[in-house]
């Protein structure tokens, strides 16, 4: 499970610079998708093998100084609620300001780890000036210069140390597959869950964004058992007016990170728009199983080719990862809802599938022999051996003599062959080349 680290502080202390530096430590940046995450305010980082999500709260508080006083309190309060570790950032050039003291006052009451980070400390004189921040009553501090990165290593050591210990999921509840129902507001997420459970547990209204929190519901019917996670509608950034919205987005992001399969619901009358695509790619980057449900299909004028054409349009947007199940449903008329759940369970089984090494080599080596990697710079690549890695989602290592010469198109070819032979419908898979 990914923990959340929030960076808080008044404007212009360098929160975004630190944020950008932290997320770029990773090769595979989950680049904060514009829309789902209000530009670049959510990202992934890892340090010493521990992965965590980072929120930069900076972009959320706008307005003149007097409005800002009220806003910053709310922003900090929300970060306190959501995050596992809080980085409180101040700036040595300005010294301790009244606003810093207000934030510190809030943070002193918190039960969670708070690390005081003093930015712009790039010479000895400034390191001496930093001493005045002891007056904030938050104990030891870290001095950094986020612009050139000095001091961030020590800070990250402390962050990883402060993160909650990773708990093994061994309880029966935790072993159940988790299906997150995600999509933009008013696509029918809560109605879908109500239709499944058969009780009006969620308030369903026509007001966008009624569901504020992610709520878990245990589902046990027709021989299936799993946890359903309903999330607040993720919406476009122009609509994210209040901090609460931002945190409901964070919870949706967190629900995607912590689930096994994402059930992405879209409104057929609006189509597979940019917002839904953002959600899809967020799930794909997090390597989750994915099922797309096209809801309100009863409201669309249809001819005999409608479903086929609609499906084709969606798949065009999904390239190169088109091996995703698409189910057309109407929550209102309870059409094909059971089919939707059946499909999600199949995708979950595909995602947790383990293939024996002997079987993998028996099937894949002849395929590779028939169509070996093209020579590159006059060098021939020989793939000798394949194994599935012991990870929660399907990842495969191909051992060869010259891994650096295998180009992306050939890796895609191998991925497609694995899909064909072993059925990974709805599941992103990763292919790695390793030195034999």
CA 25 to chain centre: 17
Question: Same structural domain for residues 406 and 328?
Answer: no
Is 189 annotated to bind a ligand? Reply is yes
Are residues 99 and 207 both part of a single domain?
A: no
Q: What pLDDT score was predicted for residue 250?
A: 62
* DSSP letter (8 states) at residue 35: T
Q: How far is CA 147 from the centre of its chain?
A: 26
Same-domain status, 140 and 123? yes
CB 217 within 8 A of CB 193: yes
State the Cα–Cα distance between residues 319 and 322, nearest whole angstrom.
6
Domain boundary pick from 131, 162, 193:
162
Q: Are residues 346 and 372 in the same domain?
A: no
pLDDT tens digits for range 117-127 = 999 888 888 88
265 occurs within a structural domain: yes
Q: Domain containing 413 — which CATH number?
A: 3.30.300.20
Chosen domain end from 101, 135, 162? 162
Q: Residue 63 annotated as binding?
A: no
Read off the pLDDT of residues 253-302 as tens digits, 9 standing for 90 and up.
Answer: 777 877 899 999 998 888 888 778 878 888 888 889 999 999 988 887 77
Residue where a domain terminates, one of 308, 330, 352: 352
Is residue 296 annotated as involved in ligand binding? yes
145 is in an annotated binding site: no
d(CA 76, CA 79): 5
Would you say 231 is a known binding-site residue? yes
Residue 232 marked as a ligand binder: yes
Q: Is 10 annotated as a binding residue?
A: yes
pLDDT of residue 31: 36
Where do we find the tokens 């992306």? 408
Asked if residue 167 belongs to a domain, the reply is: no
Q: Tell me, yes or no, whether 312 lies in a domain.
A: yes
Annotated ligand binding at 57? The verdict is: yes
CA dihedral 317, 320, 323, 327 (to 10 degrees): -10
Residues 256 and 379 in one domain: no
Averaged pLDDT of the chain: 78
Residue 98 counted as an annotated binding residue: no
Locate 413 and state its tokens: 């070819």
CATH number of the domain within which 233 lies: 3.40.50.300
Q: Exposed, middle or buried by CB within 10 Å (0-12, 13-18, 19+), for 239? A: middle
DSSP 230-282: E-PPP--GGG--SHHHHHHHHHHHHHHHT-SEEEEEEETTT-S-HHHHHHHHH
| Residue pLDDT, tens place only, 383-422 | 889 999 988 889 999 999 988 888 888 999 999 999 989 9
Residue 154 annotated in ligand binding: no
Condensed to tens digits (0 to 9), the pLDDT of residues 199-231 reads 555 444 444 444 444 456 777 776 788 888 776
Claim to verify: residue 31 and residue 52 sit in the same structural domain: yes
214 annotated ligand binder: no
Say yes or no: 288 and 389 in one domain. Answer: no
pLDDT for 215 equals 56
Per the annotation, does 123 bind a ligand? no
Residue 183 annotated as binding? yes
**429 assigned to some structural domain:** yes
Closest CA to 189 of 251, 281, 246, 243: 251
Q: Is 59 annotated as a binding residue?
A: yes
CA angle 385, 388, 393 (to 5 degrees): 155
Point out which residues pair with 291 in neighbouring strands: 263
Q: Is the peptide bond before 320 cis (omega within 30 degrees of 0)?
A: yes
- Write out 157-186 in H/E/C secondary structure: HHHHHHCCCCCCCCCHHHHCCEEEEECCCC
At residue 426, the pLDDT reads: 92
- Mean pLDDT in residue range 172-187: 77
d(CA 74, CA 62): 12
For residue 233, say whether it is annotated as part of any ligand binding site.
Answer: yes
pLDDT digits (tens, 9 = 90+) for 145-171: 887 888 888 999 999 999 887 655 444
Question: Exposed, middle or buried, 387 (CB in 10 Å: 0-12/13-18/19+)?
Answer: middle
* 9-26 tens-digit pLDDT: 887 788 878 888 887 643
Same structural domain, 72 and 122? yes
- On whether 322 is known to bind a ligand per the annotation, the reply is no
Would 169 be classed as within a structural domain? no
58 and 127 in a common domain = yes
- 120 assigned binding-site residue: yes
Q: Inform me whether the pLDDT recorded for 64 exceeds 80.
A: no
Name the E strands within 268-342: 289-295, 326-328
Query: Is 230 known to sit in a ligand binding site?
Result: yes
Spatial contact of 433 and 415, defined as CB atoms under 8 Å apart: no
Of residues 79 and 314, more confidently modeled:
314
Domain count for the chain = 3
| H-assigned helices in 240-273 | 243-257
Element (H, E) at 79: helix 65-82
Report residue 124 as tokens.
């000895």
Q: Check whether 178 has a pLDDT greater than 70.
A: yes
Beta bridge partners of 6: 55, 86
Residue 346 has pLDDT above 50, yes or no: yes
Q: Is the pLDDT of residue 69 over 60?
A: no
> Average pLDDT, stretch 46-55?
81
Section 49-76 average pLDDT: 62
Q: Is 185 annotated as a binding residue?
A: yes
User: Are residues 195 and 274 located together in one domain of the fold?
Assistant: yes
Q: Is 312 exposed, middle or buried (0-12, 13-18, 19+ CB in 10 A)?
A: exposed
CB atoms within 10 A of CB 376: 14
Choice between 132 and 173, residue whose per-residue pLDDT is larger = 132
Q: Of residues 369 and 302, which shows the higher confidence score?
A: 369
**pLDDT value of residue 406:** 86
Are β-strands 430-435 and 395-400 bridged in parallel, bridged antiparallel, or unpaired? Answer: parallel
Does residue 100 form part of some domain?
A: yes
Tell me whether residue 167 is annotated as binding.
no
Is residue 255 within 8 Å of residue 214, measured between CB atoms?
yes
Domain membership of residue 170 (yes or no) is no
pLDDT at 338: 87
Q: Rounded distance, CA 236 to CA 187, Å?
A: 14
* Residue 168: inside a domain: no
pLDDT of residue 387: 92
Reported as a pLDDT band with limits 50, 70 and 90, residue 40 is: very low
Residues 151 and 106 placed together within one structural domain of the fold = yes
Residue 16 annotated in ligand binding:
yes
| Residue 129, annotated as binding a ligand | no
The alpha carbon of residue 324 and the mean position of all alpha carbons in its chain are separated, in whole angstroms, by: 18
Is residue 320 a known part of a binding site?
Answer: no
Q: What is the extent of the structural domain holding 282? A: 178-352
14 is in an annotated binding site: yes
**Same-domain status, 202 and 276:** yes
CB-based contacts of 80, cutoff 8 Å, min separation 6: 86, 106, 107, 110, 112
Q: Is 43 annotated as a binding residue?
A: no
297 is in an annotated binding site: yes
Q: How far apart are CA 299 and CA 333, in angstroms?
A: 11
Q: Which of 33-42, 99-108, 177-186, 371-380 has the lowest mean pLDDT?
A: 33-42
Would you say 11 is a known binding-site residue? yes
């Amino acid at each position: 499970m990914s923990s959340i680290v929030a960076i808080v502080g008044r404007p212009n202390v360098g929160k975004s610079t630190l944020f950008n530096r932290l997320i770029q430590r990773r090769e595979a940046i989950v680049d904060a998708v514009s829309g789902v995450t209000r530009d670049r305010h959510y990202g992934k980082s890892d340090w010493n093998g521990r992965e965590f999500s980072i929120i930069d709260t900076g972009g959320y508080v706008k307005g003149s100084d007097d409005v800002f006083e009220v806003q910053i309190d709310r922003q900090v309060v929300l970060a306190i609620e959501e995050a596992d570790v809080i980085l409180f950032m101040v700036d040595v050039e300005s010294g301790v300001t009244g606003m810093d003291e207000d934030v510190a006052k809030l943070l002193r009451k918190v039960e969670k780890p708070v690390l005081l980070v003093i930015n712009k400390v790039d010479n000895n004189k400034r390191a001496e000036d930093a001493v005045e921040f002891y007056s904030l009553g938050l104990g030891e501090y870290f001095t950094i210069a986020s612009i050139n990165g000095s001091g961030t290593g020590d800070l990250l050591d402390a962050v990883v140390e402060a993160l909650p210990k990773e708990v093994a999921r061994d309880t029966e509840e935790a072993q159940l597959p988790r299906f997150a129902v995600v999509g933009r507001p008013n696509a029918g997420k809560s109605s879908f869950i109500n239709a499944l459970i058969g009780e009006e547990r969620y308030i369903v209204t026509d007001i966008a964004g009624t569901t504020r929190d992610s709520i878990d519901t245990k589902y046990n019917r027709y021989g299936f058992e799993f946890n359903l996670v309903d999330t607040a509608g993720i919406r476009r950034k122009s609509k994210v007016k209040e901090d609460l919205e931002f945190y409901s987005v964070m919870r949706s992001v967190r629900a995607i990170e912590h689930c096994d399969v994402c059930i992405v619901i879209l409104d057929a009358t609006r189509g597979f728009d940019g917002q839904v695509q953002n959600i899809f790619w967020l799930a794909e980057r997090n390597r989750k199983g994915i099922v797309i449900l096209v809801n309100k299909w009863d409201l669309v004028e249809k001819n005999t080719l409608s479903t086929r054409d609609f499906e084709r349009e969606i798949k065009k947007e999904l390239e190169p990862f088109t091996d995703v199940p698409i189910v057309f449903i109407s929550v209102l008329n309870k059409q094909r809802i059971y089919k939707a759940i059946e499909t999600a369970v199949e995708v979950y089984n595909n995602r947790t599938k383990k293939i024996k090494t002997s079987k993998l080599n028996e099937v894949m080596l002849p395929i590779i022999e028939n169509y070996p990697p093209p020579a590159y710079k006059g060098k021939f690549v020989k793939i000798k051996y394949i194994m599935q890695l012991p990870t929660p989602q399907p990842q495969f290592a191909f051992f060869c003599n010259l891994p650096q010469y295998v180009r992306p198109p050939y890796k895609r070819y191998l991925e497609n062959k694995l899909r064909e032979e072993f059925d990974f419908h709805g599941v992103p898979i990763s292919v790695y080349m390793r030195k034999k």
